[in-house]
């Protein structure tokens, strides 16, 4: 099969479509002919040599895919050749074929194309896990979702609105991204580039008003996060796009406000954890995707021969929601 290989991982990496062996499904796995995959920020980190795949995972980029079952392992009971499926991958999505454990695969709702289904797994499952499993967001609580225009951000806003009915605050760096956040259900939006979001939140909602913060930015937001979080509040770290080292940090508020500070990476979770997550996510969201209450937000589609351009588009922070690759 053909797959995109990263040549010379690091600052000067390039991408090349090459012939590699088609993976063979184990007894409890399915082989999927990929119709679409989608980009994640992690792909850029992996390409730059900063985020190696977990042990045993494919070295090919790509954390999600949608397509058709081409072949089912001998113990597979849930799927047959020709079924439309989508799901998470530990790697291997930038290719013509991938393998997936049968229990990790989800059926594509009839109203969704491959392109739309491929834009769901990584961002929605990450957002679901962070808001509900880790952050334990409750109805009528207030959640602050940073990078609201990101793939994960656009999913988190929708889940916080439609599954929990929380009060939602988001930050982003352009007016267009903030507008999308509001359309998806955010109640308050702040542009971190020209507003001090902590001052604005304290002024608008009162001091110590945020129950849960979903943060991808890290160091530059630490003090502002601490400034707005409530007593008994929770902060979930998913990434450190703005840096992960802080000088002269004052830890006292962690005790004074009895904070829970947590971090997570979905990719290196065990297969059984991911299967349980996929099951719980499907139970909570399937009918909402069918009714189009929840929807993947797709910014742009690229032919996979133009993946380099797609990566640059993401690197330049141009996307609101997801970038998908098709044509494999």
Ligand X SMILES: NC(=O)c1ccc[n+]([C@@H]2O[C@H](COP(=O)([O-])OP(=O)(O)OC[C@H]3O[C@@H](n4cnc5c(N)ncnc54)[C@H](OP(=O)(O)O)[C@@H]3O)[C@@H](O)[C@H]2O)c1
Q: E strands, the chain, where?
A: 2-7, 14-19, 29-38, 64-72, 84-88, 97-101, 106-107, 142-145, 167-172, 188-191, 210-215, 229-237, 260-263, 298-303, 322-326
Is residue 22 within 8 A of residue 95, CB to CB? The reply is no
Q: How far is the CB of 59 from ligand X (least distance, A)?
A: 18
Q: Binding residues for ligand X, per CB under 6 A?
A: 40-42, 122-123, 126, 147, 149-152, 172-174, 177, 192, 216-217, 238-239, 241-242, 264-266, 314, 317, 319
Q: Which is nearer to ligand X, 9 or 173 (CB)?
A: 173
Could you write out the DSSP letters of every residue in 95-138?
A: BSEEEEEGGG-EEPPTT--HHHHHTSHHHHHHHHIIIIIIS---
- Encoding tokens for residue 248? 């002269």
Q: Which is nearer to ligand X, 269 or 286 (CB)?
A: 269
Q: Which is nearer to ligand X, 31 or 157 (CB)?
A: 157
Q: How far is the CB of 252 from ligand X (least distance, A)?
A: 26
Largest CA distance in the chain: 61
Is residue 30 within 8 A of residue 23, CB to CB? The reply is no
Q: How far is the CB of 80 from ligand X (least distance, A)?
A: 31
Q: How far is the CB of 325 from ligand X (least distance, A)?
A: 14
Q: Which is nearer to ligand X, 97 or 188 (CB)?
A: 188
Q: Which is nearer to ligand X, 142 or 180 (CB)?
A: 180
Q: How far is the CB of 179 from ligand X (least distance, A)?
A: 12
């Amino acid at each position: 099969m053909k797959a995109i290989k990263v040549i010379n991982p690091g600052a000067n990496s390039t991408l090349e479509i090459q012939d590699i062996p088609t993976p063979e499904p184990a007894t409890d796995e399915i082989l999927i002919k990929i119709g679409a995959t989608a980009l994640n920020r992690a792909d850029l980190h992996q390409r730059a040599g900063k985020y190696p795949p977990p042990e045993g995972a494919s070295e090919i980029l790509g954390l999600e895919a949608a397509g058709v079952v081409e072949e089912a392992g001998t113990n597979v009971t849930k799927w047959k050749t020709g079924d439309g499926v989508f799901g998470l991958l530990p790697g291997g999505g930038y290719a013509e074929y991938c393998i997936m454990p049968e229990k990790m695969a989800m059926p594509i709702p009839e109203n969704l194309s491959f392109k739309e289904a491929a834009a769901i797994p990584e961002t929605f499952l990450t957002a679901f896990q962070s808001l509900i499993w880790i952050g334990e967001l409750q109805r009528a609580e207030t959640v602050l979702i940073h990078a609201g225009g990101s793939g994960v951000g656009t999913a988190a806003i929708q889940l916080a609105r439609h599954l929990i009915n929380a009060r939602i605050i988001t930050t982003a760096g352009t007016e267009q991204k903030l507008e999308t956040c509001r359309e998806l259900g955010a109640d308050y939006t702040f542009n971190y580039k020209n507003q001090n979001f902590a001052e604005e939140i304290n002024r608008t909602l009162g001091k110590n008003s945020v129950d849960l913060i979903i943060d991808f930015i890290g160091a530059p937001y630490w003090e502002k996060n601490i400034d707005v979080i409530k007593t008994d509040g929770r902060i979930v770290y998913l990434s450190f796009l703005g840096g992960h080292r802080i000088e002269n940090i004052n830890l006292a508020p962690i005790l004074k406000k009895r904070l829970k500070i947590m971090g997570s990476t979905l990719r290196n979770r065990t297969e059984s954890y991911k299967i349980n997550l996929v099951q719980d996510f499907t139970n909570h969201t399937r009918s909402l995707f069918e009714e189009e209450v929840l929807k993947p937000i797709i910014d742009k589609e690229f032919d996979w021969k133009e993946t380099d351009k797609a990566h640059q588009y993401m690197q330049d922070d141009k996307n609101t929601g997801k970038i998908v690759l098709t044509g494999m």
